[in-house]
């Protein structure tokens, strides 16, 4: 027998995806409860680089990544690494990843990603206005820098795809042009690409916390508890907590980031979700006069100007959820950043590691669970959780309320892994 329905919607996860969904659903008149094991902004949403990278429509799963990966993998501190202790476990995921690198699959991924990006960009300012966070938005742009024409030319080819979807860019050649956009970089960078199609947030943790505060202010409920399983009911779904309690709602959204696949198993789904462990160091304000996000494209990390300091981080370590952090990675990026940004003050930084929930085709899972249309998945956004949060929220709110989403969701279907 179905337990008494306690609310219209339960959202599992209080990161930027879950809280964006919760606020959007609340604005449509639904009663909403968010359940999270540690509370708002306690996970990866707190430590990302703070960029809305709408122009990043090229998947990580691509021929270029596949060609570079052997060189990267032999460097334990390089842009892509796999800890030896995790190599056997990650192998099936890596095989799936390699299969997704064919030109045809990459083209399909670009089309799907571009549609989700357009939806996300269109929805963002509405969500921020609703939640009173619009003053946190910055439209300062981004610059990718290169040490040779070779890397620059490869990036320009990728930008042709972005251009077809409305994202413009401007090439910068030579140290003087680069310095006009960002003074203080090493003269080793001879080429750059500058775009305004990249927005930023003042601080991702403060933004996520503000989403939580707005949700509570407008009548939402946040519960600190760990979810063990989801059970479909007739016209509803029940969330079973590890303390033995249950809560039932008309709809349940699973947006628990890198932990989502463990909960999805309770519904019979084996989603090949892996945790890309991202590292960064946040330096105090004034550590460098950074005008905009800078991507050191050949080295796989970024420098991000936040209201709370300068964040140096990125790279990909496929190491799962349970291995201890390897902060040698964050220190290696900081050392390189000091070489690339002469004058960077590297003292007083705070190191951090988080788990980006990533699927082998680089696309998230968004859509009803195969076992029940009353359970909706919204996870696996990889590096793009902040970027795609508002668009994902609008789509999920459509699904919950029975409206037709504005984009084709078949590329994001949970069934694609069956």
DSSP secondary structure of 386-413: TTTHHHHHHHHHHHHHTPPPSS--GGG-
Which residues does 107 contact at the CB level (< 8 Å), separation at least 6? none
- Predicted pLDDT at 228: 98
Q: By the 8 A CB rule, do 48 and 381 touch?
A: no
Eight-state DSSP code of residue 60: S
* Mutual angle of helices 103-131 and 16-27, in 10-degree steps: 60
Task: Return the SS3 of 291.
Answer: coil
The first and second tokens of residue 409, run together, are 């969701």
The pLDDT value given to residue 1: 38
Q: What predicted TM-score, i.e. pTM, was given to this entire model?
A: 0.95
User: What's the token pair of residue 317?
Assistant: 């370590």
Residue with tokens 């709370």: 308
Contact 36, 408 (CB under 8 A): no
C-alpha to C-alpha distance for 17 and 11, rounded to whole angstroms: 10
pLDDT averaged over consecutive 10-residue blocks of the chain (418 residues)?
79 98 98 97 93 93 71 68 86 91 93 97 98 97 94 87 89 95 96 95 98 98 98 96 97 97 96 94 97 93 97 89 92 96 97 95 97 97 96 98 97 93
How far is the C-alpha of 256 from the C-alpha of 265, rounded, in Å? 13
**So what's the pLDDT on residue 3?**
56
* Residue 254 to residue 96: CA distance in whole angstroms: 23
Instruction: Determine the Cα–Cα distance for residues 385 and 120; give it in Å rounded to an integer.
Output: 11
Domains of the chain in start order, with CATH, are 5-46+206-272+363-417 (3.50.50.60), 65-101+137-198+273-358 (3.30.9.10)
**How far apart, in Å, are the Cα atoms of 293 and each of 51, 202, 280, 369?**
8, 12, 14, 37
Instruction: Please count the other Cβ atoms lying within 10 Å of the Cβ belonging to residue 27.
Output: 16
pLDDT of residue 408: 97
Tell which residue, 380, 374, 390, 385, has the closest CA to residue 417.
380
CA–CA gap between residue 200 and residue 382 (Å, rounded): 17
């Amino acid at each position: 027998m179905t337990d008494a329905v306690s609310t219209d919607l339960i959202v599992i996860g209080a990161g930027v995806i879950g809280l964006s969904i919760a606020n959007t659903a609340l604005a449509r008149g639904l009663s909403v409860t968010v359940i999270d094991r540690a509370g708002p902004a306690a996970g990866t949403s707190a430590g990302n680089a703070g960029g809305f990278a709408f122009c990043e429509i090229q998947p990580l799963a691509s021929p270029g990544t596949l060609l570079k990966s052997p060189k990267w993998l032999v460097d334990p501190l390089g842009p892509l690494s796999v800890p030896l202790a995790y190599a056997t476990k990650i192998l099936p995921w890596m095989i799936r990843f390699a299969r997704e690198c064919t030109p045809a699959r990459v083209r399909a991924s670009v089309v799907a990603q571009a549609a989700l990006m357009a939806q996300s960009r269109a929805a963002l300012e509405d969500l921020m206005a609703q939640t009173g966070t619009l003053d946190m938005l910055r439209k300062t742009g981004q610059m990718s820098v290169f040490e040779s024409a070779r890397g620059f030319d490869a990036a320009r080819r990728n930008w042709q795809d972005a251009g077809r979807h409305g994202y413009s860019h401007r090439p910068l050649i030579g140290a003087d042009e680069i310095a006009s956009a960002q003074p203080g970089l090493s003269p080793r960078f001879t080429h750059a690409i500058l775009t305004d199609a990249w927005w930023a947030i003042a601080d991702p943790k403060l933004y996520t916390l503000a989403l939580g505060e707005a949700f509570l202010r407008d009548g939402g409920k946040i519960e600190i508890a760990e979810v063990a399983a989801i059970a479909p009911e007739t016209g509803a779904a029940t969330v079973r907590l590890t303390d033995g309690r249950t809560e039932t709602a008309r709809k349940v959204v699973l947006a628990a980031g890198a932990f989502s696949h463990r909960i999805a198993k309770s519904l019979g789904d084996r989603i090949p979700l892996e945790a890309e462990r991202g590292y960064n160091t946040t330096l105090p304000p004034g550590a460098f006069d950074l005008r905009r996000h800078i991507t050191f494209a050949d080295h796989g990390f970024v420098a991000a100007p936040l209201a709370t300091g300068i964040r140096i981080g990125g790279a990909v370590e496929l190491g799962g959820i349970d291995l201890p952090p390897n902060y040698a990675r964050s220190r290696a990026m900081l050392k390189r950043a000091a070489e690339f940004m002469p004058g960077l003050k590297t003292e007083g930084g705070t190191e951090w590691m988080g788990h980006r929930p990533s699927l082998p085709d680089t696309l998230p899972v968004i859509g009803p669970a195969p076992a029940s249309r009353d359970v909706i998945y919204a996870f696996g956004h990889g590096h793009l959780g902040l970027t795609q949060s508002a668009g994902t929220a609008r789509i999920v709110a459509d699904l919950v309320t029975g409206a037709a989403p504005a984009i084709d969701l078949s590329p994001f279907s949970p069934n694609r892994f069956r």
